[in-house]
Amino acid sequence: MTATRESTVHGRGNHRLDSVLELVTFTAKPMPLVTLLDEAPRRIATIFGAEVCSLYLLEGDGHELVMRGNVGFPHGVVGQVRLAVGHGMTGEAVEYLRPVSSMHASEHASYKHFAELGEDRYPVFLSVPVRGRAGALGALVVQRAKIAFDSHDVELLAVLGALIAAGIRHAELIDARRERSGTANNRRAGGGTRKVTLPGTPLVPGRALGAIAALRRPPQRPSERISLKPNGDSDVRRMRGAFDVAEKAVSGLSRRASKIGLGKEAMFLSTYTEIIGDSRFRERAAELVMEGQTIAQALGRVARDVARTAASITRDPFLEERARDVEDLCDALSMLAAADRRAELPSKALLVGDGIGMFDLLVTARSHPVGIALTERAIGPRTRALLSLFGVPAIVGVQGLFRWASDGEVALLDADHGLLVINPTKGEMAALREYKRSRGEAVPADPVRSDES
């Protein structure tokens, strides 16, 4: 008698198996990193029946883990939660390249608390390293409110971490291939066609696509067209018109600040309201114009006088800050009145810089930028409020920004995860358009590099 060997086809119906196979199919395809960060945590949370799944990437000098993908926690924590390798259970998993789990995470010796996460609701914790060729690329974390993770869960999450690592490596290989296939004809000094992804800290969520333009200020020496042809009465009228425009703009910004709940963060707007409404300030500038100075010269003179007064008083922080505010406002008034084209920016640009000020809200905003990326120097106390008032996607703390970004290069700003992609692929731009379309937002056209226009 011959024994029969039976086989079983595991058809659909096993929720966990179906979800695992769908994830395998998903990660097998090349995709933008943003898509991986959006989708992988959601799919992995479904597999484990977990309320929370987080994906951390190892960044900078390889000693900092940054949460770049998440499902389950408030959206605003992505890009904000950061851990040193070896710190917290997630950092410990990366340090030892071994899984770490706990039924009561807060009682674990390595537990690190983040108040903004509210993770006390999900004490059942499992973290595994996402391993690359030579060490970790990041970490995967799943959390539940109840039911401990068993040994099968630990094994499965470790394998899924390898799938995520493969997706990240595949993106790197695509970039390297594009770099090797480049020619002298499609490169240029200061930029080129190499795709580079720079991490930062998201402040205003959203995603945008545009040509890069560096933030500018008025030149210290006004153009000859403006400086050599003063016209007293006409210039005074134009300057007064600039004051009126600025006054209306600040009033509108104050209303917007109240509407979006900035509160004390936007108190500095009242300072600008006071300065603009100061009749002595206006009269002094008008006197200087009538004496033969240009608008830019007159406003510059007023700003210097205020700065000297502040400097003559023993280190008064209030007066020093007010002097800076006056200088910033005078720059803006000069531009609003004279429109020196050397400080103008292209429309619908993605702005990059070391910081922003009221000049940008009053003048730069008129070019309708699509997004803003600032370097690690943007640490002023007003930065968050200023970017919120701009109302476009924004990230800060982008190291090496000016080493990689050049005016006119196309860039994709993902301020949901905190990434700036310079020279994105067609696939990444298509993914952004699909993302916008799915949310009922305006779909951006492909920007044209300045050297192709």
Statement: 15-174 belongs to CATH 3.30.450.40? yes
Helix (H, G, I), strand (E, B) or coil at 411: strand
Query: Residue 166: its pLDDT value, please?
Result: 86
Question: 100 or 189: whose pLDDT is higher?
Answer: 100
Query: Residue 226: its pLDDT value, please?
Result: 44
Among 33, 69, 68, residue whose Cα is nearest residue 171: 33
| Predicted confidence (pLDDT) per residue in 124-143, tens digit | 999 999 998 888 999 999 99
List CB contacts of 223: < 8 A, sequence separation 6 or more: 340, 341, 342
Statement: 192-216+345-448 belongs to CATH 3.50.30.10? yes
Please list the alpha-helical segments (H only) found in 263-371. Answer: 268-276, 279-290, 295-312, 317-338, 358-362
Residue type, 277: G
Query: Residue 339: its pLDDT value, please?
Result: 58
What kind and span of H or E run contains 65?
strand 64-71
Cα(25)–Cα(37) distance, integer angstroms: 16
Domain ranges of the chain: 15-174, 192-216+345-448, 224-342
Looking at every residue in the chain, the average pLDDT score rounds to 85
CATH number for the domain running over 224-342:
1.10.274.10
Percent of the chain with pLDDT over 70: 86
Average pLDDT over residues 340-366: 86
Question: Alpha carbon 318 to chain centroid distance?
Answer: 30
- Residue 442 pLDDT > 90: no
Whats the size of the chain, residue-wise? 453
| Helix axis angle, 295-312 to 317-338, nearest 10° | 180
Cα(143)–Cα(101) distance, integer angstroms: 10
Please list the alpha-helical segments (H only) found in 181-231. Answer: 224-227
Query: Residue 183: its pLDDT value, please?
Result: 40
Query: Residue 187: its pLDDT value, please?
Result: 40
| Predicted confidence (pLDDT) per residue in 162-174, tens digit | 999 988 877 655 5
Average pLDDT over residues 377-381: 82
Query: Residue 135: its pLDDT value, please?
Result: 86
Among 375, 451, 443, residue whose Cα is nearest residue 208: 443
| Predicted confidence (pLDDT) per residue in 271-315, tens digit | 999 999 999 999 999 999 998 888 888 998 988 888 787 667 656
- Residue 15 pLDDT > 60: yes
Query: Residue 266: its pLDDT value, please?
Result: 93
Query: Residue 2: its pLDDT value, please?
Result: 58
Percent of the chain with pLDDT over 90: 55
Average pLDDT over residues 378-393: 91
CA distances from 263 to 250, 253, 385 (A): 15, 12, 9
Burial of residue 408 (number of CB atoms within 10 Å: 0-12, 13-18, 19+):
buried
Query: Residue 337: its pLDDT value, please?
Result: 87
pLDDT band at 409 (very low <50, low <70, confident <90, very high): very high
At 399, list the tokens: 């190291």
Query: Residue 110: its pLDDT value, please?
Result: 74
**For every residue of 348-390, which 3-state class applies, written as one string?**
CCEEEECCCCHHHHHCHHHHCCCEEEECCCCCCCCHHHHHHHH
Strand pairing of 207-214 and 419-422? unpaired
Query: Residue 243: its pLDDT value, please?
Result: 94
| Predicted confidence (pLDDT) per residue in 242-262, tens digit | 999 999 999 999 999 999 999
Q: Which of 12-26, 309-323, 370-384 has the lowest mean pLDDT?
A: 309-323
- Residue 222 pLDDT > 60: no
Phi and psi of 125, rounded to 5°?
A: -130, 140
pLDDT band at 228 (very low <50, low <70, confident <90, very high): very low
| Predicted confidence (pLDDT) per residue in 38-84, tens digit | 999 999 999 999 999 999 999 877 889 999 999 999 988 999 999 99
Query: Residue 186: its pLDDT value, please?
Result: 43
Among 52, 64, 61, 67, residue whose Cα is nearest residue 95: 64
Query: Residue 247: its pLDDT value, please?
Result: 95
Residue type, 38: D
pLDDT band at 179 (very low <50, low <70, confident <90, very high): very low
Cα(216)–Cα(356) distance, integer angstroms: 10
Query: Residue 374: its pLDDT value, please?
Result: 97
Q: How many helices (H) and strands (E) does the chain have?
A: 14, 14
Question: 315 or 443: whose pLDDT is higher?
Answer: 443
Q: Residue 119: CA atoms inside 13 Å, Cβ hemisphere, count?
A: 27
Query: Residue 175: its pLDDT value, please?
Result: 53
The single-letter DSSP state of residue 62 is: T
pTM of structure: 0.84
Place of tokens 């779909």: 443
> Is the four-CA dihedral 431, 435, 436, 440 of positive or negative sign?
positive
At 236, list the tokens: 């005074």
Q: Which of 72-86, 90-104, 224-238 has the lowest mean pLDDT?
A: 224-238
